Structure 1
């Protein structure tokens, strides 16, 4: 019972999402990301280079990268190759022997989504990624009770995982444009069912917007920056304009190097060149805000 060849269809957009029955919001401290069954065996059923698989892979990449930045655990599920009839169970009656073609070929996650070190990889045996995998225990161990679900196929494993999680007090978020299916009809079936009975149906961009990255806060405040500059120029802090060229005001190379060393001692690495290229209070504060503070003793830190 081979998988059907999947004809291209347009990936649902934000305007196509069904109305949700609940209004759960993803929380970076409570959520995990599940990349469901993105194996060559299943992805090969789609038409290469055509929707929905192009958008599917691109959106999962976006979600994975964003979750990694927030420290949200990333979980992969994959079905094993060469299951025995006992391992396959009733799936054998509906789908046959399952993944075939050798563990290095069809079982493998596609190259574009290769798991990273530290990601959790689950061997999956049934429709739901919770069955006989340890996923529930892994979520509980990390205090996670939300699951962002993407992958294939929407109306089979993704939907069953959402339903199973819901019945175990895990809030599922089914990402409409980061799942795909045998057809647009099956895809919509999954979204409609989930939105009404077990999950929040959302989009990739809505998930990213709901999980903003924290803005970097410079170790040197705007007030401290102005005070440091005023001290070196031997002027009143209020006398220096935000967008005034500080080189023309007297900020020579010796004073610039003094600022570099002073701010390094606060844990922020800047260079003489960076300060000299855009010598205004406004630009310097933006530069400091963009820099990640360096903890004392961390690689790159300098002794004071």
Structure 2
């Protein structure tokens, strides 16, 4: 199944100030989350950004938060966004069956969110190069487990090009600039 911008929403999980810097390859995660957010903005894909206990872990990283649409940030206490009523109801309210997921930590909140959303009936796509864990082995184990559970594992470029669907449009030129 291909990702479709008109059927997708974007979920950025817990890319927060006190957690991000200790991840493996944090700059790649921030850069790709920003690309996804900019692509979503250009293609009218609704966005949700979760923050796990921000009083302790801090707010969303500044460069990611700068791209957030107004009202997109939702606090949570559950590890899984699917278990957090405010986030699940927000995703359901979009009436878009596909959820593209990025964030940290891949083996905790991203994994539990992706599998939980799959169990809730969504088609879930986890963006491997926009996710991380403190230990690279945990990141890979999470990707393997999610794939085995029926979650599609994709890359940032896969998302952007599938959302675009066609070249030669003004949207294509704008989104292509995010990739170059």
Q: TM-score, normalised by structure 1?
A: 0.52
Which stretches of structure 1, 4 residues or longer, exceed 6 Å deviation after superposition? Answer: none
Matched, 1:55 2:6: no
Aligned equivalents of 2:128 and 2:54: distance in 1? 28
- Per the alignment, residue 9 of structure 2 pairs with 32
Aligned equivalents of 2:90 and 2:77: distance in 1? 17
Aligned equivalents of 1:185 and 1:154: distance in 2? 10
Aligned equivalents of 2:5 and 2:120: distance in 1? 20
- Per the alignment, residue 46 of structure 2 pairs with 73
Aligned equivalents of 2:137 and 2:104: distance in 1? 14
- Per the alignment, residue 125 of structure 2 pairs with 173
Question: Among residues 117, 139, 162, which one is paired with 2:114 in the alignment?
Answer: 162
1:81 Cα deviation from its structure 2 partner: 4.4
Q: May I ask how many residue pairs the two structures share in their alignment?
A: 169
**SS at structure 2 position matched to 1:109:** coil
Aligned equivalents of 1:81 and 1:117: distance in 2? 18
1:122–1:133 Cα contact (<8 Å) kept? no
Matched, 1:185 2:162: no
Higher relative contact order (CA 8 A, sep 6+): 2
- Per the alignment, residue 123 of structure 1 pairs with 75
Deviations 1:263-295 (A, max 9, x none): xxxxxxxxxxxxxxxxxxxxxxxxxxx9xxxxx
Aligned equivalents of 2:28 and 2:40: distance in 1? 18
Aligned equivalents of 1:67 and 1:117: distance in 2? 10
**SS at structure 2 position matched to 1:72:** coil
- Per the alignment, residue 59 of structure 2 pairs with 108
1:69–1:213 Cα contact (<8 Å) kept? no
1:210 to 1:44, Cα distance in 2 relative to 1, 3 A: same
1:118 to 1:107, Cα distance in 2 relative to 1, 3 A: same
- Per the alignment, residue 176 of structure 2 pairs with none
Any unmatched runs of 5+ in structure 1?
1-23, 83-98, 100-105, 217-289, 291-304
- Per the alignment, residue 177 of structure 2 pairs with none
**SS at structure 1 position matched to 2:80:** coil
- Greater Rg by CA: 1
Deviations 1:24-58 (A, max 9, x none): 22111111111110111211324xxxx61111111
Matched, 1:64 2:37: yes
1:133 Cα deviation from its structure 2 partner: 3.6
- Per the alignment, residue 178 of structure 2 pairs with none
